[in-house]
Amino acid sequence: KDISTTFVSPGVAVNTFNRLNHRDELYFSVFKPETGPVWKGNLKRYRLGSDGTVYDRAGRTAIDPETGFFKSRSNNPADPGAWSWWSDDIDANDIHLGGAAENLPNNSDDRNVFTYLGGSSNLSDDSNEISYDNADNITKELLEYTEATDEEYKLLLDWIRDIDVFDTDNDNSYTDTRHTIMDPLHSAPVVVI
C-alpha cells in the first residue's frame, strides 16, 4: 500500500547524567514507498509521555490507535492530525511535509555536505567537503564514476549536495534545492547529547 511508513526503530534521547532516565524527545525516520527507485524520507520529532504515549507539538496524541500510524489531517479542530516538532504547520502522516527536510537550507550554497576521507579528523575540514571545488579529494575514481564526463561528474556532485539537477519538482530550475532526505530503510536515528 502506498502510505507513509517506518520500518526502523525510533530514537530516544538518553539522559547522559543519569542513564536510568531518558529524555522525552522521540525521533522517527519515515519514508514513503514509491513505484520508482527513489523513495523520499524524513526525520520527525515527537514527545514521549511517561505512560509511553507519543504526543505531537501541540500536546495531542500523535498516533491513530486504529492504524498505528501518525494521525492523518482532518477538519476536526480538536484533532487536526499529528504535528511534528520542527514543522511550521500540521504535517500529519505526510513525509513530504515538516520534519528535518523542511528545515534544510533553501540556498544550496548554505548546504554543507561532508564525508570522511581518512585524512583530517575534523569532518568539516575543506578536504572532506563534497563539492566540485574539492575534485582533488572527491575524485571520479573514489565515486567509481571514471567514465563520466566533467559535466556528468559535476552534476553528480551537485545532486549529492541536494541540488535539483534533474528538475524533479518541474519548476524549470536546475539550481534550486530538492529539500530531500532519502528513505532511511536500513538506518535508525541516533541522538547525541
Plot region of 63 (φ>0 → left; ψ -120 to 50 → alpha; else → beta): beta
* Tens-place pLDDT, residues 68-83: 888 988 888 888 999 9
Give pTM, 2 decimals.
Answer: 0.71
CA distance 88 to 105: 15
Confidence of residue 119 (pLDDT cuts 50, 70, 90): confident
For 107-132, the DSSP string reads SGGG---B---SS-S-TTSGGGB-SG
* Tens-place pLDDT, residues 48-70: 898 889 999 999 999 999 988 88
List, in sequence order, every residue forming a beta bridge with 30; answer none if it has no partner. 42
